[in-house]
């Protein structure tokens, strides 16, 4: 029960934070599509890249889709209950691990080079790196100030 309350608090915090962003910066991360669970994610932004780390233990690469469209990163897939974990005669009294479909959508900054995206699933963590364009560093010059 406490894990469900913690998840509800996390979603409410995300909705609250999202509501104070300017409209052009709001992400679709708070979407509530028909999903069975929502994996946790960490996002780091550096000058040269944006990186996503999404916890997907037990998710097979063949059950995973990563797409980029309209400056949004979409990660979807499913985690099935292992056959050996679900015998027909078993009585489940307690289950904490979520199974079924999931979907996460993240806004991508406009300076990202989405055609150069890289992704790796290793040890149950999906790592996605999207390189960024080098910031424009114009040449500096002195401006003459006149007085009357």
Residue 38 is part of a domain; what is its CATH number?
A: 2.60.40.790
Is 74 contained in some domain? yes
**Structural domain tally of the chain?**
1
What residues make up the domain containing 43? 27-83+97-131
Which range scores top for mean pLDDT: 4-13, 107-116, 133-142? 107-116
* Contact assessment for residue 107 and residue 113, using Cβ atoms and an 8 Å cutoff: no
Residue 75 pLDDT more than 70?
Answer: yes
Q: Is residue 109 part of a domain?
A: yes
Q: Is residue 92 part of a domain?
A: no
Contacts of 14 by beta carbon, 8 Å cutoff, 6+ apart: 29, 30
Q: Is residue 89 part of a domain?
A: no
Q: Is the pLDDT of residue 58 over 60?
A: yes
In a domain, 144, yes or no: no
Place of tokens 């990563």: 66
Q: What percent of the chain has pLDDT over 90?
A: 50
The pLDDT of residue 65 is 96
Of 97 and 33, the one with more pLDDT: 97
Cα distance from N-terminal residue to C-terminal residue, the chain:
74
Which residue, 136, 111, 137, 127, is CA-closest to 44? 127
Quick one: DSSP state of residue 48?
S
Mean pLDDT over 126-134 rounds to 95
């Amino acid at each position: 029960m406490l894990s469900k309350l913690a998840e509800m608090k996390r979603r409410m915090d995300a909705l609250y934070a999202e509501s104070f962003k300017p409209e052009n910066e709001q992400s679709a991360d708070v979407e509530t599509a028909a999903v069975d669970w929502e994996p946790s994610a960490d996002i780091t932004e550096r000058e040269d890249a944006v990186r996503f780390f999404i916890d997907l233990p037990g998710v097979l690469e063949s059950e995973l889709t990563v797409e980029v469209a309209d400056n949004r990163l979409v990660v979807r897939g499913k985690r099935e209950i292992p056959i050996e974990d679900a015998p027909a005669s078993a009585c489940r009294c307690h289950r904490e691990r979520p199974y079924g479909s999931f979907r996460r959508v993240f806004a991508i900054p406009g300076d990202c080079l989405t055609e150069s995206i890289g992704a790796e699933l290793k040890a149950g963590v999906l790592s996605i790196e999207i390189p960024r364009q080098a910031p424009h560093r114009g040449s500096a010059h002195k401006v003459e100030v006149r007085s009357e």
